[in-house]
Amino acid sequence: MSPSPTALFCLGLCLGRVPAQSGPLPKPSLQALPSSLVPLEKPVTLRCQGPPGVDLYRLEKLSSSRYQDQAVLFIPAMKRSLAGRYRCSYQNGSLWSLPSDQLELVATGVFAKPSLSAQPGPAVSSGGDVTLQCQTRYGFDQFALYKEGDPAPYKNPERWYRASFPIITVTAAHSGTYRCYSFSSRDPYLWSAPSDPLELVVTEFSEATAELTVSFTNEVFTTETSRSITASPKESDSPAGPARQYYTKGNLVRICLGAVILIILAGFLAEDWHSRRKRLRHRGRAVQRPLPPLPPLPLTRKSNGGQDGGRQDVHSRGLCS
């Protein structure tokens, strides 16, 4: 009877031997410190991390034949030629691990910085929407938005000269400092300088505050309604009673005063109408009186000698007067 695999494993432990692992080793991790976005002439460190007891590390730059058998690569001053994709792996005995995830090392500050703005504004309430817009004067077709504290930027190849980064239903996690970059798809690891920082502020309106406000409003409405329903029948004992009586008396006084004024005006109108009627009667009577007789015409006088060539002076005076 052949021994079981478990018995062989226990026997190996007792003899100080462990069966060799079959297949590739787990992949390591690769990171850039302090960041994978490195301004020109600034330092950066690439570190490959595997399990303990690694025999050999290998760090290589893709799309090139360059590599080094070290776990750490220190770059004292970032250059354009150093930008690109990196990966690493390690060896234990005769076995190699799977390669790490690729790391994109980007050189920033190669081009002038773009501008970053928020629409409708950098302050937005929780649950609302905001759009961050990156704009440049150069004809770049690639843009990236970076938030401080995030491991990687957000890329958006939208259109030339500018790109929009919509944030739908913002939360408190979206608050922070943002910057954007512009670059060309022909040189995807040579970026512009970062834009001026934009601080996005998300204001919270908690459900507890909303419930408290609603409950307070309902309580006030209920209290006022109960007061109006349970009011005493004798309104004179309540503060509203004298006020209502005062306004009622004031209205009555105004009505009476208006009526008196209307009566006086009606009296004036009647008196005026009566006086006008009397004057019309007097005028009618005056018209009916006989007209006085006309004065007699003056006698005409003849000129000396009784000649026919004389004229009446009165008639000539009348035409000229």
pLDDT tens digits for range 137-148: 888 989 999 999
Q: Which residues contact 124 (CB under 8 A, 6 or more apart)?
A: 118, 130, 170, 200, 201, 202, 203
pLDDT per residue over 214-239, tens digit each? 454 454 444 444 444 343 444 444 44
| pLDDT(305) > 50 | no
CB-hemisphere CA count at 13 Å for 173?
4
**Under CATH, which number does the domain 28-108 receive?**
2.60.40.10
Q: Do domains 28-108 and 112-203 have the same CATH topology?
A: yes
Cα–Cα distances (Å) from 69 to 49, 56, 97, 161, 174, in that order, read 13, 7, 14, 42, 41
- Of 59-73, 76-90, 156-170, the range with the lowest mean pLDDT is 156-170
What is the CATH architecture assignment of 112-203? Sandwich (2.60)
Cα–Cα distances (Å) from 269 to 273, 277, 281, 282, 283, in that order, read 6, 12, 19, 20, 21
Residue 190 is predicted with a pLDDT of 97
CB of 89 closer than 8 Å to CB of 100:
yes
| pLDDT(311) > 70 | no
Whole-number percent of the chain with pLDDT over 70: 62
| pLDDT(71) > 80 | yes
In degrees, rounded to 5, the angle at the alpha carbon of residue 144 between the alpha carbons of residues 142 and 145 is 155
Residue 37 confidence class, pLDDT cut points 50, 70, 90: very high
Residue 184 confidence class, pLDDT cut points 50, 70, 90: very high
Domain edges within the chain: 28-108, 112-203
